[in-house]
Amino acid sequence: MARTKMAQRKTAQKLTVTLAGAAVFAAISAILTLAKAAVPFPLVPYLQVDFSEIPILMAFFLFGPVAGSITSVIQWVFLNETGSDAPLGPAIKFAAVISTLGGLWLGGLLYRRIRGSSNHPSLAVSLILSSGIIFRVVAMTVVNYAVLVYIAPVFFGQNYLAFAKATLERSMGWSLPTDEMVLTYTLIFTALYNVVNLLVAAIPAGLIVSPIATSFKHITSGDTWLAKNTHS
């Protein structure tokens, strides 16, 4: 009975810490969004390398996929309330973030399955980041194709492809005579953008989280998600 109560207390404590952490990092993400903490991606300037993803990935690395998902949902709601391109822009952003979290989680799961009896932190980090990149790029290629070809023109009356054509020709100095060429280059450059955006968010988030892993363990009687999936 005592062990059961202790286990229940630990579960309740973990849930409380997770929810509190998600709320805190969602607030930080909102502040960065309001501050417009982003820089244009040079190849496609209308795409913004967004630093508001850093707190979301910090929540994920500290508390795990539940906290990361809650933080991303709160960001999506916030963008719908404050963004000028709602609802399509926030939905695309949410798809990018949630596919990233799913990929990172599966990368950690894959590492735990193949690591054997010894730890290989470099392999773990490589698998987690690679999985996040692959999932984000694949998911967002599908999403952007659907938006450019079908969703934007049919449901919103917007010719995003024409806007992409004008942007690419202006930024690259190219002539793109067909819609197929515009679509191909837009998807390729958007994939590169997603790789850069993930790395810009994930690397600082991981570097910030790693030094506080010991303190986190003292507070919660457990390791961070990142520590569990790279050292255990």
Instruction: Report the run of H or E that residue 210 belongs to, with start and end.
Output: none
Q: Which CATH class is domain 2-231?
A: mainly alpha
Question: pTM to 2 decimals?
Answer: 0.92
The 10s digit of each residue's pLDDT in 60-112 is: 999 999 999 999 999 999 999 987 688 999 999 999 999 999 999 999 999 98
Q: Where are the alpha helices (DSSP H) in 35-175?
A: 53-63, 65-82, 88-114, 121-146, 152-155, 160-172
Q: How far apart are CA 49 and CA 120, in angstroms?
A: 31
Is-contact 56 75, C-beta < 8 A?
yes
Written as one letter, the residue type at 50 is D
Q: How far apart are CA 217 and CA 133, in angstroms?
A: 28
Is residue 5's pLDDT more than 70? no
CA angle 227, 26, 200 (to 5 degrees): 60
CB atoms < 10 A from the CB of 113, how many?
A: 8
Task: Share the mean pLDDT of the chain.
Answer: 90
CB atoms < 10 A from the CB of 123, how many?
A: 13
Q: What pLDDT score was predicted for residue 155?
A: 93
Ordered by start, the domain boundaries in the chain are 2-231
Half-sphere exposure of 145 (CA within 13 A, CB side): 12
Q: How far apart are CA 76 and CA 98, in angstroms?
A: 10
* 3 state SS of 90: helix
Q: How far apart are CA 96 and CA 89, in angstroms?
A: 11
Contacts of residue 35, defined as CB under 8 A and 6 or more positions apart, other chains included, come to none
Is residue 151's pLDDT more than 80? yes
Among residues 84, 38, 172, the alpha carbon closest in space to that of 164 is found at: 172
CB atoms < 10 A from the CB of 90, how many?
A: 19
Confidence of residue 219 (pLDDT cuts 50, 70, 90): low
